[in-house]
């Protein structure tokens, strides 16, 4: 018991000491950056105050200590503080780089050679049997590639309208391949077309819905894309009535990448929610702050 009491006292002393040193360093930092004129002013007030209470010694001590510290160590401390600020800026730069890398990864992961090969084979086949359909699929493929490939260079592609356009082209190609096994429903009001929306997120969710939800299901099903404004947020939702989610399946690079980018772009204001509705299948919803238009 005794030993633990002593420990407690020691802990308290240590804590008090920590607190005191924290206050001292804060005062030190303030001294380092404060202008001389302001310092003179505080000296003046302190002198008056302590003169009024008739004990001028603390005031003289204050003036002496602050003068000495400012002259002797102020310059060094100031440099340190500036260095710290530079580090913060560097951290912001690191964050920007991470975002850039995440965006790169998102795009590289998307240009799937399988998809390209199979679509080209499909077009080749359709040229022989159904030239009109071949031309349609060909046009969709061009739309898809145009909005997928140059995304890094053009800065204006990140609107919901553009992303929906890209996904429509992709889904049209998938419909040509899966035929009656794939149905598509879009419920995106026109006025949301200009709302900023990060690239390739909607596309990843749609590809997941087809790959993990509908392709393993014999009779196929429907992909439903919906966008709506809820309060100050934009919700973009991709639902399928496929086989649902296996709780033991890895959540995949695609979803992790979306989460990472949302976090870097919007912090806690955005989220990706996955749920399984009672009727089966899976729903993925991206929530982010709604803006009417991109900043100029």
Partner 1 sequence: MKPLTALIADDEAPMRDLLRSRLQQAWPELQIVAEAANGVEAVELGEMFRPDIAFLDIRMPGLSGIEAARRLYEQSHIVFATAYDQYALDAFEQGALDYLLKPVSAERLATTCARLQARLRKHASADAAAPQDIGQQLAKLTTLLENKGKPDKPTYLRWIQAQVGSSLRMVSTREILFFQSDEKYTRVQTAAAEFLIRKTLKELLDELDPDEFWRIHRSTLVRVDAIAEVKRDLRGRQMLKVRGFPGELEVSRNHSYLFQQM
Report if residue 271 touches partner 1, rule: CB under 8 A: yes
Report the SS3 class of residue 240: strand
Report if residue 12 touches partner 1, rule: CB under 8 A: yes
In angstroms, give the least distance from the CB of 203 to partner 1. 19
Cβ nearer to partner 1, comparing 114 with 155: 114
Binding mask 44-83 for partner 1 (x = CB under 8 A): ----------------------------------------
Report if residue 255 touches partner 1, rule: CB under 8 A: yes
Among residues 143, 261, 144, the alpha carbon closest in space to that of 198 is found at 261
Give dist(CA 129, CA 81) in Å, integer: 73
Among residues 152, 170, 255, the alpha carbon closest in space to that of 212 is found at 255
Report if residue 19 touches partner 1, rule: CB under 8 A: no
In angstroms, give the least distance from the CB of 170 to partner 1. 15
Report if residue 15 touches partner 1, rule: CB under 8 A: yes
Among residues 44, 69, 47, the alpha carbon closest in space to that of 56 is found at 47
Report if residue 248 touches partner 1, rule: CB under 8 A: yes
Binding mask 197-226 for partner 1 (x = CB under 8 A): ------------------xxxx--------
- The burial class, CB within 10 Å (0-12 / 13-18 / 19+), for 164 is buried
- The burial class, CB within 10 Å (0-12 / 13-18 / 19+), for 286 is buried
Give dist(CA 84, CA 120) in Å, integer: 55
Give dist(CA 185, CA 168) in Å, integer: 10
Cα 91 to its chain centre, rounded Å, is 15
Tokens of 55: 């004990």
In angstroms, give the least distance from the CB of 2 to partner 1. 16
DSSP label at 209? I
In angstroms, give the least distance from the CB of 179 to partner 1. 5
Of 31-39, 89-97, 157-165, 278-286, the segment contacting partner 1 by CB under 8 A is 278-286
| Binding-site ranges for partner 1 (CB under 8 A) | 7, 11-12, 15, 113-114, 117-118, 120-122, 124-126, 128-129, 176-179, 181, 215-218, 245-251, 255-256, 259, 268, 271, 273-278, 282-283
């Amino acid at each position: 018991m005794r030993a633990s009491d002593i420990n407690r006292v020691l802990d308290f002393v240590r804590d008090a000491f920590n607190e005191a040193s924290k206050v001292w360093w804060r005062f030190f930092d303030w001294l380092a950056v404060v202008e001389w004129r302001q310092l003179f002013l505080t000296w003046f007030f302190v002198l008056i105050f302590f003169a009024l209470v008739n004990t001028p010694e603390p005031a003289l001590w204050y003036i002496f200590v602050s003068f000495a510290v400012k002259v002797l160590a102020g310059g060094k401390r100031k440099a340190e503080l500036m260095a710290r600020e530079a580090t913060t800026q560097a951290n912001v730069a690191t964050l920007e780089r991470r975002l850039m890398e995440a965006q790169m990864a998102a795009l590289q992961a998307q240009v799937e050679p399988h998809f390209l090969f199979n679509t080209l084979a499909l077009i080749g086949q359709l040229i022989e049997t159904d030239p009109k359909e071949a031309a349609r699929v060909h046009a969709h493929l061009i739309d898809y590639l145009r909005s997928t490939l140059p995304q890094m260079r053009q800065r204006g592609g990140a609107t919901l309208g553009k992303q929906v356009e890209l996904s429509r082209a992709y889904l049209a190609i998938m419909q040509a391949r899966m035929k009656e096994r794939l149905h598509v429903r879009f419920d995106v009001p026109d006025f949301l077309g200009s709302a900023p929306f990060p690239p390739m997120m909607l596309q990843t969710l749609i590809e997941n819905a087809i790959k993990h939800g509908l392709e393993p299901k014999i009779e196929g099903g429907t992909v439903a894309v919906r966008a709506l404004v809820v309060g100050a947020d934009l919700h973009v939702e991709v639902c399928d009535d496929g086989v649902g989610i296996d709780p033991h399946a890895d959540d995949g690079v695609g979803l992790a990448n979306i989460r990472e980018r949302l976090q870097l772009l919007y912090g806690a204001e955005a989220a990706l929610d996955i749920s399984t509705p009672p009727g089966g299948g899976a729903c993925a919803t991206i929530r982010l702050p709604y803006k009417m238009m991109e900043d100029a």
